Amino acid sequence: MIKTLIIDDEKLARDVIRAYLKSHSDIEIVSECANGFEGVKAIHEVKPDLIFLDVQMPKLTGFEMLELLDTVPVIIFSTAYDKFALKAFEQSAADYLLKPYSQSRFNEAISKARQRLTGGGEDKELITKIQESREVAREGLDRLVVRLGSKIVIISLDKIDFIEAQDDYVAIHSEGKKYLKQLTMKYLESSLPENQFVRVHRSFIVSISSIDRLEAMSKDTYMAILKTGIKIPVSRSGYGSLKEVLNF
C-alpha cells in the first residue's frame, strides 16, 4: 500500500482528493492536515510515501513546509494558483494539479507518482529546486522559517541582525538568538531585499538597520559595529556595496 498524506487548508479540496482516491485501492490515506505546521509533524510521525500538498496556506506555505523536512516524500502539488513557476517544478514534483481538476487529470498525476515511487521515492534534490524556483517565483523573501526539533520558528526579516555562513548551513542571528538553516549565502544574497540587507563579507550578510557605525581597521578593511556591539568584518567589495546602498 502507498501511504498518503493530504495537506490542504480547504476542507473541500481535501474531500475532493479523498473522493478521487476511492478508485485507487493501492493507496491508503494515513492522515489529513489543514496547515503546514500539522503537515511537518504528520510527515515525521507517519512517514508517508506520497503527499498531496497545497501551496498557499496560512502561517506556513507548502514550499516553506518542504524546506523543513529531512526526508521528502513523493509530492503532488495541488493549488488554485498558477503563478508559482509551474515549469520550474515539473522536474521536481511528481505532478502539479491546478484546481479545479478532473478525475482523469488526477489519475494521470497518480500514475506519475507511482512511477516516481518505483524509481526510488524520495527526491533529495527537490528542496534545492524549490529554493531556486522561489527566487524566480517571488519578488523576494519576506521571512525565514526554521525548524527547531518539534518547533517551527518564523523569523521576520526586520528581526534579523546578520546572517553568517557555517559550512553547508547559515546561522541566522535574530534578537540575541542563533538559528541554523540549510541555505546558501548565494541564495540569500539574491533573495533578501537589497535595500535591507548587504553582503559585507564572504561569510556575512548584515541588516542595514542593525549597523551602528563603520570603523576602519586598516587602509582597505573595515569593521561594521552593530547596535548590539557585535563586530562584523567588512571586505573591500562589501564596503563598496555599503557605500552604494547607504550613499556615502
Cα-based distances in Å from 194 to 9, 115, 133: 33, 42, 19
> CA 125, CA 149: separation in Å to the nearest integer?
22
**pTM of the complete model:** 0.71
- pLDDT (0 to 100) of residue 149: 81
* Omega prior to 58 cis, within 30 of 0: no
The better pLDDT of the pair 150, 46 is held by 46
Q: How far is CA 154 from the centre of its chain?
A: 11
Report pLDDT digits (tens) over 84-124. 655 446 546 778 888 899 999 999 999 989 988 887 545 55
pLDDT for the residue 23: 95
What residues does 118 pair with on adjacent strands? none
- For 175-192, what is each residue's pLDDT tens digit? 999 999 988 898 899 889
Amino acid 140: pLDDT: 61
Q: Which region among 30-39, 93-102, 159-168 has the lowest average model confidence (pLDDT)? A: 93-102
